[in-house]
A and B are shown apart, each in its own frame.
Chain A
Amino acid sequence: MAQTEISTTQQEEVIRLQPSRGWTALNLPEVWRYRELVYFLIWRDIKVRYKQTALGAAWAIIQPFFTMVVFTIFFGKLAGVPSDGVPYPIFSYTGLLPWGLFAKALSDAGRSMVANRSMITKVYFPRLVIPIASVLSGLVDFAIGSVVLIGMIIYYNHIPIPSAQITPTAAIITLPFFILLALITALGVGLWLSALNVKYRDINYVIPFLTQFWLFITPIAYPSSIVPEQWRWLYALNPMTGVVEGFRWALLGVETAPGLMLAVSSTVSILTLISGMFYFRRMERTFADIV
């Protein structure tokens, strides 16, 4: 019947809009068709991010670097926190680097829908594009921060104290997997927060609290080996545990691969992403009215 009601040519896309209630399909192919927009939004974020700042992109180094210095002095030296036999500065920096990626992606994605409201209320495009772009744009800061890490690895590789030397092993090829895991986790949580933020502006206050809280339950200032063996699986319910331990294993060659923890962390991370996507899609149709 619809064919006789409406005239189309072969190339034209026909869109049928009907009321939708409850859960809807994710429609990921449509998001893929709009990948060019993801690219542009990332690029826009990066271009605008350090505008009118005196130090510009140096901020991407300053933040993790000085946090590392403070951690090294207070946790490493004064409190004597163990660091799995690795020099404390590089131990904490390998945790802070993926943490920075995660924390930034989380807070940017959480605020992204409200921040882009002028686009949402005026133009149609798959809304998932917005939080995806905010998460991915954090990769640039991550890449800049990595320069310091590479410098530290080279330094610890050449110092004359054999016990403190760091030599990356073949495990380094698994690093992209851990970066991906951090991004998936951030996107999953970011989707929940961004959809909730449209309705409840409380989320603006939740985000700083959540990231601070989350920092302490992630093995950044301390190794996860201080958590009693029988509680490690519970500890690994925090997906960032798997990410940080994975980073240390891949880059510093500490102990063995974090097998069980990684399995638990990855599962939680993927479940967060899937549930986040469905919740986001469910809330999506109300965004234009209330954002």
Chain B
Amino acid sequence: MSKQNLKVIKLDKVGVRYRIPSERISSFKEYSIRWIQRKVTHRDFWALQDVNLSVNRGETLGLIGHNGAGKSTMLKLIARVFRPTAGRVVVAGKVAPLLEFGAGFHPELTGRENIYLNGALMGFSRQEMEEKFKGIVDFAELWDFIDVPLRTYSSGMGARLGFAVATDVEPDILLIDEVLSVGDESFQRKSSARMQEFRDQGATTMLVSHNMDIVIKMCDRTAWLDHGQIKAVGKTSEVVQAYLQSQIE
């Protein structure tokens, strides 16, 4: 078996269903009355349906598609935030999700404290985070603001801190949702460089983006999601081409 074919993520006939109540029932009383009347109705919405996908070790896989196509749901599934309603997901290795900035951040805590809190969220001990601390702040270039509350940060500063923390924990799998579009020009260059570094070290990346230039530049393969199903998966240039073509029509 060649190195390229070693799979680290495998989705096997995966479905994720959200149950959307036809009308919002938010109180127990209402729920009880409707339950007695047999009027608790849900509209099922399959955010992902019958998805088969595998990601090889060391590759960067792009995910493209319209809003609501299921891209973010897929990342959240791999990050274990959601559970599959059907099928099976197998993930090997440490996952660093970079789904939204400020996921585990608290505005009243300082940058320093938030770094440690995020480390704990990813299951790192304090000693491990102490070793990583300097590198994280260096990368985020936030030494001047490290001891002030996060609420005083600009969104770009928050983004830098989030990216620095998530990528400094040496994940085997990095999940990135639209985050390369935040931050200024120089930070974008820096984060692209770090992702390249990652790839060289053999880490696997899944990247959701609406920016086709980034997808073409970063991704070895790309999957096109449409209404919760995979419409095409393969070489980035071909999939992107087909996707853009469909938008013109």
Contacts and interface: CB of A to CB of B under 8 A. Distances in A.
B109 A47 contact: yes
A201 B76 contact: no
B81 A121 contact: yes
B82 interface: yes
A15 B125 CA distance: 21
A119 B103 contact: yes
Contact of B89 (A8, A13, A16): A16
B123 A123 contact: no
A36 B120 contact: yes
Contacts, number: 126
Interface string B46-84: 000000000001000000000000000000110111111
Contacts of A14: 90-92
B104 interface: yes
B172 interface: yes
A101 B205 CA distance: 46
Contacts of B81: 120-124, 288
B92 A8 contact: yes
Contacts of A202: 27-29
B31 interface: yes
A15 B80 contact: yes
Nearest to B15: A19
Contacts of A41: 117
Nearest to B103: A122
Nearest to A15: B91
A73 B235 CA distance: 80
Interface stretch (B4-12, B180-188, B218-226): B4-12
Interface in A111-161: 118-125
Given A17-B83, A125-B121, A200-B26, A12 B93 contact: yes
Contacts of A8: 8, 92-93
A119 B118 CA distance: 10
B100 interface: yes
A27 interface: no
B158 interface: no
Given A19-B85, A200-B28, A118 B102 contact: yes
A202 B89 CA distance: 35
A3 to B, nearest CB: 11
A28 interface: no
Contacts of B103: 118-119, 122-123
A37 B129 CA distance: 12
Q: How large is the interface on A (under 10, 10 to 19, 20 to 34, 35 or more residues)?
A: 35 or more
A7 B6 contact: yes
B7 A40 contact: no
Contacts of B108: 47-48, 51
B198 interface: no
B18 A289 contact: yes
B116 A40 contact: yes
A5 B90 contact: yes
B83 A19 contact: yes
Contacts of A121: 81
B80 A17 contact: yes
Contact of A17 (B6, B8, B88, B100): B88
Given A14-B90, A17-B89, A123-B97, A5 B7 contact: yes
B116 A33 contact: no
Contact of A44 (B31, B100, B117): B117
B143 interface: no
Contacts of B125: 36
Contacts of B8: 6-8
Contacts of B90: 2, 5-6, 14-17
A120 B27 CA distance: 22
Given A6-B10, A18-B88, A288-B82, A36 B124 contact: yes
Interface in A85-125: 118-125
Nearest to A201: B26
Contacts of B31: 200
A119 B109 CA distance: 15
Contact of B109 (A5, A12, A44, A120): A44
Given A18-B88, A125-B121, A200 B94 contact: no
Contacts of B19: 289
Interface string A53-64: 000000000000
B26 A285 contact: no
11 contacts: A6-B8, A17-B80, A17-B89, A36-B123, A41-B117, A44-B106, A44-B113, A51-B108, A124-B97, A200-B26, A202-B29
Given A19-B86, A122-B81, A202-B29, 12 more contacts: A7-B6, A7-B92, A14-B90, A19-B87, A47-B109, A121-B81, A123-B81, A124-B97, A196-B28, A200-B28, A202-B28, A288-B76
